[in-house]
Amino acid sequence: MIKFYFAPWSRASGTLWLLEEIGQAYEIEHVRAEGGLPESYRAVQPNKKVPAIDHDGTIVTERAAICMYLSETFPEAGLAPAVGDPARPAFLTWLVYCDAVFDPALAARANGWAYESNNFSFGLFEDMVANVERMLSSRPFAAGERFTAADTQLASGIHFGLNILKAIPDRPVFRDYVQRATNRPAYKRSMDLQATYA
């Protein structure tokens, strides 16, 4: 059984979507509380961040790692190109890019940070936006022609940046991608489930 440590409308939203795509039984451990997450949660995630999973005693944290773990543990879901598949390098690149570059650059912009590109490993927001736009102008999904676990993270992030933070430029290529990626039953189920926690 998968235990999913979750707080609604957070960075865990994309992982909830992924779990619905995977189609395996899971239980939600709602960890958000008034005043923040409990100190006891540090035993699962040292920085008290979501998401995290516990799969039969194996704890996995960080969104990219959770995506790789789940999509490779349950290959029948078809959410990760296999080793040797020409789409695998792009899958791995964009899965990690979401955590290592996209998310921190978006957070920096949303918080009004001014900084030099060389001061932070994730570089400039403008460079991130240009890179994502260039990639999505060349193919329909992060890894190529088909939807993968990387899209649960990238589409969630772009949706949040466009519609909630209003920080990502509102361009057709971003809107079209989000529409394409989220037009899936698993996404709709994940959104309905999140709404029950509001």
The per-residue pLDDT for 36 is 77
pTM reported for the whole predicted model: 0.95
The rounded distance, in Å, linking the Cα atoms of 191 and 57 is 27
Domains of the chain as residue ranges with CATH: 2-78 (3.40.30.10), 88-185 (1.20.1050.10)
Of the two residues 32 and 15, the one the predictor is more confident about is 15
At 131, is the pLDDT very low, low, confident or very high (cuts 50, 70, 90)?
very high
Average pLDDT over residues 44-67: 96
Q: What is the 3-state secondary structure of the chain?
A: CEEEEECCCCCCHHHHHHHHHHCCCEEEEECCCCCCCCHHHHHCCCCCCCCEEEECCEEEECHHHHHHHHHHHCHHHCCCCCCCCCCHHHHHHHHHHHHHHHHHHHHHHHCCCCCCHHHCCCCCHHHHHHHHHHHHHHCCECCECCCCHHHHHHHHHHHHHHHHCCCCCCCHHHHHHHHHHHCCHHHHHHHHHHHCCC
Average pLDDT over residues 133-146: 98
Residue of 46, 60, 142, 140 lying closest to 93 (CA atoms): 142
Residue 47 reports pLDDT greater than 70 = yes
Average pLDDT over residues 46-67: 96
The rounded distance, in Å, linking the Cα atoms of 101 and 94 is 10
Residue 94 φ/ψ, nearest 5 degrees: -75, -30
Of the two residues 37 and 70, the one the predictor is more confident about is 70
The per-residue pLDDT for 33 is 64
Q: Mean of the per-residue pLDDT values for the chain?
A: 96
The per-residue pLDDT for 197 is 84
Residue 44 reports pLDDT greater than 80 = yes
At 193, is the pLDDT very low, low, confident or very high (cuts 50, 70, 90)?
very high
Residue 1 reports pLDDT greater than 90 = yes
Q: Between helices 13-22 and 149-159, what is the axis angle to 10°? A: 150
